[in-house]
Chain A
């Protein structure tokens, strides 16, 4: 019987679920190679899910079990699809290629001053404190007094919470020690979270907001007048149970009032950012207009601005792309170019449906993708034309790609455990890519040939 070989691009939740479900659901033998441009698996579970949400992060345990226990499932980390190997090459080496590489770009506000120093996409800040190798240890210096976060989603709230979190709480997480030190040295006293519309349209979940109220060092400041909803907000809240729950918590927060705590998070609604002002190229303020009355403007002094207005997919050479939605066009997860299905190419996760939902949302999304892949496999009239695993290894090695396989990742993980143990934590992430590669290579030289599986 012929074994179907599938490449999955990206090892975050959607890629991991795609790999798992392919092997679980298929009635004929399937082998899956999961590629990641990073030496480490799990994408945004490792680098997106907030460090003070360890229970959500613990989903990696079940992903890891799948990688450990499934014959024919491999992790090929540190491989940059599009640079190390082209999409056309992947298509010729595999029966099917599933793109699950997420939404690695950011929407901009497109207002004057956005290029000033200390105006950042929230992703840069999140990546930095999560110890993502794309952000240097020195990328942020927290020496201002007031930070602003533009946007009212869960990521905005994560960033705001991290800026006020007690240092002892951060020392229980897996973030690198030099990042904890940077937060310990922070002089920020206030974070202003800016929403274009009113609280009725806030996008973060009630759970995130409840957690914010539990941060003991911090006052939550809300103008009670903002909680008198206009007709549009009222209609939205009436129709959306999530918005209703959130509003209950807003009211609780307003009732609690200001308790004189050392730090505060202030919600500023009905404000549209219309520009940033700076001194010598560095941010000093954000210019805001009232959304409901654009002639009323103000400048709010600030030393750090994070825009959290949405992630965007990234166009890849050889893959169709819809600039407007920032996603890859598809029919039932099959990639389409115009009206034509591109044979053997599929999408899953954020690159397919846009940046929304939580970890589990990707399971359902991946199941749709896997169903289409397996339907096509069952319908095809020829046997597998894929290269073998060894042939793929040869190709990558001939290009000098330093592949980090599952064993390499486990070596990195062990090093992170050891670093953690030295400071009384379960794990402390390695931040530097070269260091990760050194650890993985040292392991390889210890055990000999690269392991599969």
Chain B
């Protein structure tokens, strides 16, 4: 069981969640942030920190956002990341499905 960043984050990347994540498991990708499921400790700080309601517990994902469980996981399979999301800084990479999305208006 883990938390998952979903579509609402794309081209928003507020990053409030990164300040509050005790496990430092949220990484800033090119167009959205991603939660490393191996590091997440299930605390939920990111859910309340997020101003655009983009973070869900996997068991509560809305049906149309379910693919994001795998997208978050795959980000970390495809790109080398250090242990700390805050130290990593911006990583100019997204999984294909996110990179292919049309640009979103700023929230």
Contacts and interface: CB of A to CB of B under 8 A. Distances in A.
Given A242-B48, A249-B60, A361-B48, A207 B20 contact: no
B22 A13 contact: yes
Contacts of A241: 53
B60 A59 contact: no
Interface residues on B, range: 20 to 34
B45 interface: yes
B12 interface: no
Interface string A229-251: 00000000000011001001100
B13 to A, nearest CB: 17
Given A53-B42, A205-B44, A357-B48, A363 B60 contact: no
B47 A363 contact: no
A438 B47 CA distance: 42
Given A59-B22, A206-B57, A210-B57, A358 B41 contact: no
Given A242-B48, A360-B46, A364-B19, A55 B41 contact: yes
Contact of A367 (B19, B24, B46, B53): B19
Contact of B22 (A205, A242, A248, A363): A363
Interface string B51-79: 00100110110000000000000000000
Residue of B22, B43, B44, B59 with most chain A CB atoms under a 10 A cut-off: B22
A58 interface: yes
Nearest to B22: A360
A245 B56 CA distance: 9
Given A210-B57, A242-B47, A357-B48, A363 B42 contact: no
B1 to A, nearest CB: 8
A311 B44 CA distance: 20
A363 B43 CA distance: 13
Contacts of B40: 55
B33 to A, nearest CB: 15
Interface residues of A, number: 25
A359 interface: yes
A62 interface: yes
B35 interface: no
B60 A358 contact: no
Nearest to B57: A207
Contact of B20 (A56, A205, A363): A363
B52 to A, nearest CB: 9
B84 to A, nearest CB: 10
Contact of A55 (B42, B56, B57, B59): B42
A360 B39 CA distance: 14
Contacts of B59: 207, 210
A249 B62 CA distance: 12
A199 B77 CA distance: 40
Contacts, number: 66
B6 to A, nearest CB: 12
Contacts of A55: 40-42
B19 A358 contact: no
B95 interface: no
A364 B45 CA distance: 10
B10 interface: no
Interface in A41-75: 53, 55-56, 58-59, 62
A124 B49 CA distance: 30
A249 B56 CA distance: 13
Contacts of B47: 205, 242
A206 B49 CA distance: 15
A62 B60 contact: no
B5 interface: no
B16 to A, nearest CB: 8
Contacts of B19: 363-364, 367
B43 A56 contact: yes
B42 A359 contact: no
Nearest to B46: A360
B21 interface: yes
A359 B22 contact: yes
B73 to A, nearest CB: 16
A357 B44 CA distance: 9
Residue of B19, B42, B49 with most chain A CB atoms under a 10 A cut-off: B42
Nearest to A362: B22
Nearest to A45: B22
Contact of B23 (A62, A248, A362, A364): A62
A248 B63 CA distance: 13
B12 to A, nearest CB: 15
B2 to A, nearest CB: 9
B45 A360 contact: yes
Nearest to A59: B22
Interface of B: 19-24, 40-49, 53, 56-57, 59-60
17 contacts: A56-B41, A59-B22, A62-B24, A205-B44, A207-B42, A210-B59, A241-B53, A245-B56, A245-B60, A248-B60, A358-B45, A361-B45, A361-B49, A363-B20, A363-B45, A364-B20, A367-B19
The list of the 8 closest CB pairs from A to B, nearest first, reads: A360-B45, A360-B22, A360-B20, A241-B53, A207-B57, A55-B41, A55-B42, A359-B22
